[in-house]
Amino acid sequence: MNPTPTAPQATAPPHAAVIQDISGLGRCSLAAALPVLAALGVHACPVPTAVLTSQTGFNRFALCDCTPVLNEFPAVWKALGVTLDGIYTGFMANRAQLGAALALIEEFRPPLLLIDPVLGDDGALYPCFGEEFLRAMREFVARANVLTPNVTEACLLTGTDYTKFMAAHEEDQLELLKGICESLPAKRIIITGWRCGDMIGNVVSNQGKLSIHTMPVVGGSYSGTGDLFAACLCGYLLRGVSPEAAMPRIMAFLEACLRSARLLARPPEEGVPFELHLGMLIEN
pLDDT by residue (tens digit) across 22-41? 999 999 999 999 999 999 99
User: In the chain, what percentage of residues exceed pLDDT 70?
Assistant: 96
Read off the pLDDT of each residue in 195-217 and give the average, rounded to a whole number. Answer: 92
pLDDT grade for 247, boundaries at 50, 70 and 90: very high
Is 201 within 8 Å of 192 (Cβ atoms)? no
Chain segment 137-189, per-residue pLDDT in tens: 999 999 999 999 999 999 999 999 999 999 999 999 999 999 999 999 999 99
- The full length of the chain comes to 284
- Mean pLDDT (the chain) is 93
pLDDT at residue 5 in the model: 52
User: How many CB atoms neighbour CB 62 within 10 A?
Assistant: 9
pLDDT at residue 3 in the model: 54
DSSP H stretches of helix in 82-150 = 95-108, 131-140
Phi, psi for 111 (deg, rounded to 5): -60, -35
pLDDT grade for 104, boundaries at 50, 70 and 90: very high
Q: How far is residue 152's CA from residue 150's CA, in Å, rounded to a whole number?
A: 6
pLDDT at residue 221 in the model: 83
- Which of 256, 253, 255, 242 is CA-nearest to residue 281? 253
pLDDT grade for 197, boundaries at 50, 70 and 90: confident
* Residue 265 bridge partners (DSSP): none
Which are the contacts of 10, defined by CB distance < 8 A and separation ≥ 6?
Answer: none
Read off the pLDDT of each residue in 221-235 and give the average, rounded to a whole number. Answer: 94
Look at strands 146-147 and 124-125 and give their pairing: unpaired
pLDDT grade for 212, boundaries at 50, 70 and 90: very high
Sign (positive/negative) of CA torsion 67, 227, 275, 234?
negative
Is 157 within 8 Å of 186 (Cβ atoms)? no
* DSSP structural state of residue 14: P
Is 269 within 8 Å of 261 (Cβ atoms)? no
Of the options 3.30.70.20, 3.40.47.10, 3.40.1190.20, 3.40.1800.10, the CATH number for the domain spanning 15-283: 3.40.1190.20
Please tell me the pTM assigned to this model.
0.93
Domain chopping of the chain, boundaries: 15-283
Q: How far is residue 202's CA from residue 229's CA, in Å, rounded to a whole number?
A: 10
Angle at 184 between CA 181 and CA 190, to 5 degrees: 50
Which are the contacts of 4, defined by CB distance < 8 A and separation ≥ 6?
Answer: none
